[in-house]
Structure 1
Amino acid sequence: MSDVTQFISKRAQSRTSSHFANVPSDKPPAGFKPHPKPLLLSYGTPNDGFFPIDSIDVNLVNFPFEHQSKGGHLNGSASEPKANGHAKEENSNSIHIARHTKTPNSLDLSRGLQYGPVPGLDPLLEFTKEFIAKTHKPAYDDWTSILSTGASDGLNKACDAILDPGDVVLVEEFTFSPFLRFVNNVGGVSVPIKIDLSSDSNGLDLDYLQNLLDNWSKEYPNLPKPKALYTISTGQNPTGFTQTIEFRRKIYKLAEEHNFVIIEDDPYGYLTLPKYDASRFSSNNKVDPAELKNNLTIEDYLFNHLTPSYLELDTTGRVIRVETFSKLFAPGLRLGFVIAHAKVIDVIKNYAEVANRGASGLAQTVVNNVIREHWGGLDGWLNWILKMRATYSHRKDLLLHSIYQSDAFKKGLVDVIDPKAGMFVTFKVKFLDPAQGKIAADEVIPTMKQLLWKIISHGVLVVPGYNMTVDQKFSLERSNFFRLCYAPLNNDDDIIESGKRLTDAVLEFHDKGNKF
């Protein structure tokens, strides 16, 4: 393995870890024996007896949107208070988090509400390692993980770990734009990489990337060769593209040849999606959430449906993978984790000690105990992911079906890319494609802005591709699309209606000569 420290920024290498309440770091005197039961008068940690919360009951559902199901709890709660407002009915779908517990791998409130270790509380930290070992195990041994306060925090810390001022990061031309601020925050430079927007694409334009790397000094004579590539490799945001394993091997080979790090952002990758199937739909397209069955075993999902991570190709410690519980559990818990070589994780930990000190203990406790106690551990978590996958698959197909049935689609005015994972659909406005010769490249964004106002007036909100560019000028010719997300809508009726409103707006705009 190459020396991983070559990738670590000078700023990150300069940090050390210490705490004023630690025992002396020098060698103890001869004859010293630690006391078997030391009493703490050092750390400023309030005894858990001061905590006003004695216990928490977390009520859970069996599948996504159970509260909307005919057989579910329509009021949105798995159990309701009794008439006297005190005790709750017995509920098998709940977990009780007490002040203290002796259950192995469970977290109680005495730990969850207390100051905790910066890398994360041990039970959940160990779970992240178990999870990665089963789903995306790296191709070397000296890897580990650290908890973060969501994926954005993980990405920010990854940038701090490897980027010095002036270092270059290659970024997909349409991307999760907050990442650009993380790069800027450490003085890095973001350079866009062209995306291939054809329907069978891997996203990143490999030929463009290879040519750029081979001719870097000609294209960017004033910039050093790239230090890293940032990619949302599965269910890309905003385009929805997923890179095949064969494609990832080629990218990883380029990373070795040109010696750069791959920052793999994967908030959506576990939500793999089957191809749209028109035969599933009839005049009544709505489905009770209880009827959305997962038809995969865990083994089938892992070996035949889950796209391998760059971690699984990594033999040199050059991949930093950022994950989150946001899309699979709940975003408001602000909980994620980073997987990388142990030396990289160590410098991320040192940064966390001077930044946000780590993830919320209560959030860790809720996630850990729901997974370990209610779902039974790793396989239970994977089964929940498969239920999420079934729901997302239905929503994706329902939105696509609504668009496919529209006059705008039938007249060839629009097209969509059926995603293989995630929660985003690329909605292309074909008559605003400069390649057709009907509109100049510099007119695309002004016209798309007018179309956006028309769409808003029809009562639907979408994200224009040009809002998620690294460099709008670089991406002018490929900015004639909107990002559609089928995650936030309440139910099937809203999904169907959103597709109708969107396509009606586009048709009206076109028929008025591309005018509002």
Structure 2
Amino acid sequence: MDSATTRKAIDLSHHLNELSRSRVASPLKDIIKYMKEPGIISLAGGLPHPSLFPFGEMNTKVYAPAVDLCSSEEPSWPIELFIPKNASPSHKNTLSAALQYGSSYGSVSLSSFIREFTSRVMAPAYSDFEILLHSGNTDAWNKVVNILCEYGDYILVEECTYPSAQALWAPMGCRGVPISIDKDGLIPESLESTLKNWEHTHPGVKRPHLLYSVPVGHNPTGATLSVERKKAIYKICVDFDIIICEDDPYYFLQFPPYVLPYQRKPQNAGAGSSDITSEIMAYDRQAYIESLIPTFLSLDVQGRVIRLDTFSKTLGPGNRLGYFVCNPLFAERLLRATEVTTQAPSGLSQALVEELLTTWGQEGYLRWLMGLRDSYTSRRNWMCDIIAENFDLLPSPLNIVDDVVAVQKGHGSTKDVVPFFSFSFPKGGMFLWIRILLVSNATYQNMKTTSSSNAIATARWAEAFWTDLIKEKILLTPGSYYTPIIGFNERMAQEPDVVFFRLAFSFETREMMQTGIERMANVFNRWWS
């Protein structure tokens, strides 16, 4: 029977670039392997003696996994973690090991915990997947590019894409191939059309073989791909032999639907407010797992998905710790690249995260993730509620693109209402993406008459508006940062008469959000007055 327990990844070695195929194992790492054999006396490795490390032990306090992260009160620290310098029968996680050179695979115990977690939560569709620790998803994506991409390659990306993801391959002469998105993420039909027509649109040019996607809580748009879209995208990638890099830092921040205040009924009044619904508060671990949209990894019967997971959004970005989930071929090549670059993630980070997760256990970590979801759901709701307080929100006539249009407060029922911006309610992640509609803005229309092109007028208006926001002491991220690089010093053409900005609901308090969005409303009112 063909099942995930018997299915193996297929041979995808033809996707490796020349650099990756040429890498050999670091001989120094082979020495470390033999040093662990019982009775060995090593005069080989240039390892500092642990007695010369100035760190004696590590003691820290952490939250219990069931702490109420939605409470306005500072949580207590009821759990103490202890990491000794040297090993004992009861404690194998030590500073002597964490601070020493070691295997580029990273901690065996932590990797084992992650593998068990991945098997349960992600349910990979083939059995011989491997776990390899890395130093965060940016480091991981850099390594993916450096095993798969040649200089000058084209890479499939969403038409709004994470800036750092392309900043690392742009110097290689690589180019982004923008794939259309809507409020539900990457559009499969756009991907298929791009690949089907490649030889016609790019005669004599090698077709892309790598898709980079942030499928949940997309940065910057907040869109989340449904399982139906993921299935369609995966099939297209199989048909055209595409590797999928699933960069999924926001996977556990998936939210229930947002409901506008004026649409709420008593039975779902909490669905869009700062209160958490009874559905969210029911901490059933298995129900939580089943509520998560399946990953590309869970659909991957061939091993063509390289999944990037990270603890940055769940335990803190300063840990600089995450992990690949991929087929054995890619894991081995990524390991070879790691041996001669980063060598391994920070030993202290590995030791600390290992101690935390093994203390919490699998059930405790799931409980923590559920609490994070609740907290970020509240934050999403705060931002949407506050926008609704400061603008009138009307149903969008282009609801495929966005859910609502924001207009000046008190003008929602007039016939001559002027739209400010439109947006969709985030289904995950940390961001809300607004589309400013410039057709009715007088300043923009004047700029068009004095500019050599609409694109220049749009850029001038965006810069002036952003500067005015900063003068009002409110900072948003310009949407131009997320425009795909399609050539040397060339970016994808922007939608005419539209400017984008990204708002983050991940950091500020509700009170600061309230003040910030009030300031933003002042700027909008002034620019459309």
Compare 471-480 and 311-320 and name the one that shifted more.
471-480
Distance 1:418 1:220, change over 3 A: same
Distance 1:70 1:448, change over 3 A: closer
1:259-338 correspondence to structure 2 within 5 Å = 259-277=241-259, 278=261, 279=264, 294-304=281-291, 306-338=292-324
State the TM-score, normalized to the length of structure 1.
Answer: 0.84
Q: 213, 228, 235: which is aligned to 1:246?
A: 228
Q: Percent identity, aligned pairs only?
A: 26
CA distances 1:89-136 after superposition (whole Å, capped 9, x unpaired): xx7422111113446785211111111211111111112211211111
> Where does residue 521 of structure 2 map in the other structure?
503
Distance 1:144 1:509, change over 3 A: same
Contact kept? 1:106, 1:369, Cα under 8 Å: no
Instruction: Report the Cα distance in structure 1 between the residues aligned to 2:440 and 2:364, rounded to whole angstroms.
Output: 46
Contact kept? 2:247, 2:309, Cα under 8 Å: yes
CA distances 1:193-214 after superposition (whole Å, capped 9, x unpaired): 2222xxxx32223322221111
Contact kept? 2:32, 2:103, Cα under 8 Å: no
Instruction: Report the Cα distance in structure 2 between the residues aligned to 1:254 and 1:498, rounded to whole angstroms.
Output: 43
* Structure 2: tracts of 5 or more residues without a match: 1-8, 393-405, 409-418, 486-490
Q: How many residues align?
A: 473
The alignment partner of 2:181 has SS state of coil
Q: Are 1:389 and 2:373 counterparts?
A: yes
> Where does residue 152 of structure 1 map in the other structure?
138
1:13-92 correspondence to structure 2 within 5 Å = 13-20=21-28, 22=30, 36-62=38-64, 71-72=73-74, 92=78
Instruction: Report the Cα distance in structure 2 between the residues aligned to 1:251 and 1:398, rounded to whole angstroms.
Output: 33
Compare 248-257 and 203-212 and name the one that shifted more.
203-212
1:368 counterpart letter in structure 2: E
Shift of 1:474: 2.5
Shift of 1:22: 4.4
Distance 1:66 1:314, change over 3 A: closer
Instruction: Report the Cα distance in structure 2 between the residues aligned to 1:452 and 1:403, rounded to whole angstroms.
Output: 18
Contact kept? 1:445, 1:476, Cα under 8 Å: no
The alignment partner of 1:39 has SS state of coil
1:234 counterpart letter in structure 2: V
> Where does residue 427 of structure 1 map in the other structure?
434
Instruction: Report the Cα distance in structure 2 between the residues aligned to 1:183 and 1:338, rounded to whole angstroms.
Output: 19
The alignment partner of 1:41 has SS state of coil
Q: 139, 151, 158: which is aligned to 1:165?
A: 151
2:293 counterpart letter in structure 1: T
Contact kept? 1:416, 1:426, Cα under 8 Å: yes
> Where does residue 88 of structure 1 map in the other structure?
none
1:297 counterpart letter in structure 2: D
Instruction: Report the Cα distance in structure 1 between the residues aligned to 2:516 and 2:43, rounded to whole angstroms.
Output: 61
Instruction: Report the Cα distance in structure 1 between the residues aligned to 2:39 and 2:52, rounded to whole angstroms.
Output: 22
Shift of 1:239: 0.6
Instruction: Report the Cα distance in structure 2 between the residues aligned to 1:235 and 1:154, rounded to whole angstroms.
Output: 19
Instruction: Report the Cα distance in structure 2 between the residues aligned to 1:131 and 1:264, rounded to whole angstroms.
Output: 17
Instruction: Report the Cα distance in structure 1 between the residues aligned to 2:195 and 2:158, rounded to whole angstroms.
Output: 14
Shift of 1:47: 2.5
Instruction: Report the Cα distance in structure 1 between the residues aligned to 2:180 and 2:37, rounded to whole angstroms.
Output: 63
CA distances 1:470-507 after superposition (whole Å, capped 9, x unpaired): 14442333852211111121x22112222222222222
State the TM-score, normalized to the length of structure 2.
Answer: 0.82
* Structure 1: tracts of 5 or more residues without a match: 26-33, 79-90, 512-516
Shift of 1:446: 2.4
Distance 1:117 1:402, change over 3 A: same
> Where does residue 485 of structure 1 map in the other structure?
504
Distance 1:239 1:160, change over 3 A: same
Shift of 1:294: 3.6
Distance 1:430 1:23, change over 3 A: closer
